[in-house]
Structure 1
Amino acid sequence: MPMRYLLYAGLALIVLPLAGFGLWLAALPATPAAFSPVPVPQAEDDAILAALKPPKRARPLVAVVGINDATETTDYLMPTGILRRADIADVVTLSIKPGPVKLYPALTVEADATIEAFDAHHPEGADYVIVPAMSRDDDPAVATWLRRQAKDGAVIIAICAGAKVVAAAGLLDDRRATTHWYYVRNLLKRHPTIRYVADRRMVVDRGVGTTTGITASMPMMLTLVEAIAGRDKAEAVAGDLGLARWDARHDSGAFKLTRSFAMTVLANSLSFWNRDRFGIALEPGMDEVSLALVADAWSRTYRSRVELFAASPAAVTTRSGVRFLPDRVTAAWSGDRLSLGHTNERPAEVLDGALQNIGARYGQDTARVVAMQLEYPQRGAGL
């Protein structure tokens, strides 16, 4: 008799959680709504540009900060690459301590300086500080440094879930803000005085800017270029990136947890025996924005990971001066390789190509999961 009860108890431990998961799954919407953004009033766009005007220098100083052990790949690299190719500001990549910066979900770089070295060279502080998503929202060194930069007059710009880092530093209290769709509820729970703004890809309030998900750093950086150097310059850089528009319009309702998303992530995660490892050849002068987008996208399939390889362990410098370290030192990659598209393809086109290739290999549900993580709008609707 006791053995029977133990068996029943064991079955209950299995069935009840599964039943709870099934009820939770059934409560989710089946698929997201179609992306249908509403135009932003011109006065609001003008206000964002005015709020992003250089606060100190004619040629601004921009600091892109990250922690060494897990800073979001595209959040860190895309602002750096875009602003450097625009050549309208001095852009410095920073780490909290000496040593490589391990990006998530892929790639490793060498920062230009630590925050301590930056402070020694620039005691007056930066004009702009770019804050990517990080594995720890409340790193004390980051929080202290951000508060000091804000006090010295820097405009703080949080990319994606970098809003959680800025909020942990106390810089979003009683401000309007946005963030990646997945983290909105958590952000507001921890910081209830934040006034969340839906249907905006970027929000700027009293010296602090925030954006929605990862790919929103493209329109935010183009808006910053326009604020610093004018519309013509921003249009030229946008053309180089492959973008026709970069305003604040967004449709928050098109990005939410759905049954399709959850089931695809679960199915891909359970296919642990069927993982792919892709290599990207690390070459001097390569486009770091395209590299970030390709590596980030393929690393979010729950089916694959991406590594850089090179014949030497030495850092390799890209188009805009970012120093990458190879994950694997080899002259010949034995497995599947990824490319950054054709020679003339621009970063936005490279991302579209990566999503198409992901869909062809793993199915369209997986491609949509990746696009949702990147908070990437439908291509026809623009970035």
Structure 2
Amino acid sequence: MNPRSIVWGVLGLAALSAAGFGVWLATLPPAPVASIPPPVPQEEIAATLAALKPPKRQRPLAAIVGLNDATETTDYLLPYGVLKRANVADVVSLATGPGPVRLFPALVVQPDATIAAFDAAHPEGADYVIVPAMSRDDDPAAIAWLRDQARKGATIIGICAGAKVVAAAGLLDGKRATTHWYYLDEMLKRSPTIEYVADRRLVSDAGVTTTTGITASMPMMLTLIEAIAGRARAEVVARDLGLETWDTRHASGAFGLTRPFATTVFANRLAVWNREELGVRLEPGMDEVSLALVADAWSRTYRSNATTYAASPGAVESCNGIRIIPDRSGIDWPADRRVPTFPDRKPANALDHALDAIAARYGARTSNVVAMQLEYPRQ
């Protein structure tokens, strides 16, 4: 989910006038609805796992597709990193056209192939197509390719606002689904036959699975690993990531546009003199899951953006083979503006550490704004 779309949505609703903003602000709830996620019936869990079984190959092929000019950072990188470390599927990162994929709000990567090259190598299609949030829901190449992959029997997985792209392809018509809280009304307005399912981090229906916000990609991938290789394998990967447990429960009412969210975004956006460019050093073999979560979080504060740097301009390969192109090279970033990716910690804990660091630097309200954008059910 693009942070710019949230800020302009907030500013647009506020009509950029003090009086109008005050009236509009008064209509917002003072806080999200505190609730305990309801339990998920065992039969629903079993049905979800059955729906995610490999549709074609014994060792499935998973393709993660993105637009070259703007695809969400964590939506694109986390599924790749988690599935690769699980070693239960062949995984490829794709772009709709040649060249690198510029992720938002941070990072640039070199994909494995274009969708055209993938089609030439795999005319029978993928087993799973993972669709991140993109800058456009109606890109003709992406839409046509998704429809073609669905016709070939691929299971389509829309991560976060990637569900809007899946919906634009007509693949969610008449189906149960979810998406990021900020884009839910927009998706349902465009595709009114979709049946929204609340209080679930992921929803499967007839060959298509959708998820809530950005951080749902981790439980989504662990659920997919369980469907492919069993619970024991998923638990091993979860421990490697630093998770003791995961499930599909979600307290949907805890996420939404609130008064503190709007006022914090507004104040941070207006403080143009207080903007920081923070450096993330790229190192060969670094964990792409930690990198994605940290860079994503620091670029959603409306006070800072994360810029990558390395010794040389060439792509730096992560531990699971993602090639990250540095924004800057041949420089040494000032120590007080460096952002750690916590290489000595488990990847699942990297986001909590980043949120703590954001709170220490900019305050708890800004940290909460970041967590809300990521739709992260922080304990």
> TM-score, normalising length from structure 1?
0.94
CA contact (8 A) 1:203 1:211 kept: yes
Q: C-alpha offsets along residues 174-228 of structure 1, whole Å, 9 cap, x if unaligned?
A: 0000000001101111110000000110000000000000000000000000000
How far apart are 1:356 and its partner, in Å? 0.5
Query: In 2 relative to 1, CA 16–209 (structure 1 residues): closer, same or farther, beyond 3 Å?
Result: closer
The answer for the alignment partner of 2:92 in structure 1 is 92
- Deviations 1:302-328, CA, capped at 9 Å, x for gaps: 000111101111111100000000000
Rounded to whole Å, the distance in 1 between the matches of 2:40 and 2:239 is 22
Residues 187, 245 of structure 1: alpha-carbon distance in 2 compared, 3 angstrom cutoff? same
1:218-297 matches, within 5 Å, as: 218-297=218-297
Q: Which residue of 2 aligns with 1:212?
A: 212
Distance 1:348 1:35 in 2: 23
**Is residue 178–residue 196 contact of structure 1 (8 Å, CA) maintained in 2?**
yes
CA distance in 2, matches of 1:74, 1:155: 20
Tell me the amino acid that sits aligned with residue 98 of structure 2. P
Rounded Cα–Cα distance in structure 1 between residues aligned with 2:118 and 2:188 = 32
Match of 2:369 in 1: 369
Query: In the alignment, which residue of structure 2 is the partner of 1:6?
Result: none
Q: State the shift of 1:334 in Å.
A: 3.0
CA distance in 2, matches of 1:227, 1:247: 13
| CA 236–18 in structure 1, closer or farther in 2 if over 3 Å, else same | same
Contact 1:78 1:288 in 2 (8 A): yes
Residue aligned with 2:37, SS: coil
The answer as to whether partners of 1:83 and 1:91 remain within 8 angstroms in 2 is yes
Change (3 A) 1:55 1:367: same
Q: Contact 1:35 / 1:377 at 8 angstroms: preserved in 2?
A: no
Equivalent-residue separation in structure 1 for 2:360 and 2:148 (angstroms): 48
Q: Aligned pair 1:341/2:342, yes or no?
A: yes
| Preserved contact between residue 146 and residue 169 of structure 2 (Cα < 8 Å) | yes
Amino acid in the other structure paired with 2:163: A
Give, in angstroms, the shift of residue 60 of structure 1: 0.3
- How far residue 33 of structure 1 moved from its aligned partner, in angstroms, is 2.2
Instruction: Supply the distance in 2 between the matched residues of 1:294 and 1:35 (Cα, whole angstroms).
Output: 27
3-state secondary structure, aligned to 2:64? strand
Matched-pair contact (CA < 8 Å) for 1:213–1:374: yes
What one-letter code is carried by the residue in structure 2 that aligns with 1:367?
S
SS of the equivalent of 2:91 reads strand
Q: Are 2:15 and 2:21, in contact at CA under 8 Å, matched by a contact in 1?
A: no
| Letter of the structure 2 residue corresponding to residue 116 of structure 1 | A
Q: Percent identity of the aligned residues?
A: 68
Question: Aligned in 2, Cα 1:88/1:15: closer, same or farther, shift over 3 Å?
Answer: closer
TM-score (norm 2): 0.95
> Partner of 2:166 in structure 1?
166
CA–CA distance in structure 2, aligned partners of residues 189 and 244 of structure 1: 38
Partner in structure 1 of residue 75 of structure 2:
75
Name the residue aligned to 1:134.
134
- With 134-143 and 241-250 compared, the bigger mean Cα shift is at 241-250
Distance 1:59 1:21, change over 3 A: same
- Kept after mapping to 2: 8 A contact 1:35/1:378: no
Counterpart CA distance in 1 for 2:305 and 2:330 is 17
Once the two structures are superposed, residues 238-265 of structure 1 have per-residue CA deviations (whole angstroms, 9 ceiling, x without a partner) of: 0111112221100100001000000000
Structure 2 SS opposite 1:360: helix
1:282-309: CA deviations, max 9, x gaps? 1100000000000000000000011110
In structure 2, the partner of 1:63 is 63
Aligned positions of 1:17-36 closer than 5 A: 17-36=17-36
Distance 1:185 1:16 in 2: 23
Number of residues of Structure 1 aligned to a counterpart in Structure 2: 365
Following the alignment from structure 2 to structure 1, what is the Cα–Cα distance between the partners of residues 327 and 17? 39
Q: Is the 8 A contact 1:220 1:246 kept in 2?
A: no
Alignment of 1:154 onto 2:154: yes
Match runs of 1:289-308 below 5 Å: 289-308=289-308
Q: Is the 8 A contact 2:160 2:210 kept in 1?
A: yes
**Contact 1:280-1:307 at 8 Å conserved across structures:** yes
How far apart in 2 are the matches of 1:333 and 1:268?
Answer: 24
**Given the superposition, is the C-alpha separation of residues 15 and 149 from structure 1 closer, same or farther in structure 2, using an over 3 Å criterion?**
closer
Note the alpha carbon deviations across 1:77-121, whole angstroms, 9 max, x for none. Answer: 000000000000000000011111000000000000000000000
1:33 partner SS = coil
Alignment-derived partner of residue 359 in structure 2: 359
Task: Give the aligned residue type for 2:170.
Answer: G
SS at match of 2:272: coil
Provide the secondary structure at the position in 2 that maps to 1:273: helix
1:126-179 deviation line (CA, Å, top 9, x unaligned)? 000000000000000000000000000000000000000000000000000000
Which ranges in structure 2 are unaligned for 5 or more consecutive residues? 1-13
Report the CA distance between 1:331 and its aligned residue: 3.7
* 1:192 and 2:192 aligned: yes
Moved more, 18-27 or 68-77: 18-27
For the Cα contact (< 8 Å) 2:286–2:343, is it kept in 1?
no
Amino acid at match of 2:286: M
Residue 17 of structure 1 deviates from its aligned partner by 4.0
- Pair 1:123–1:262, CA change in 2 (3 A): same
Aligned equivalents of 2:101, 2:35: Cα separation in 1? 35
Higher alpha-carbon deviation: 38-47 or 81-90: 38-47
Cα distance in 2 between the residues matched to 1:371 and 1:73 = 15
CA shift, 1:329, in A, is: 1.1
Structure 1 position 181 matched with structure 2 position 171? no
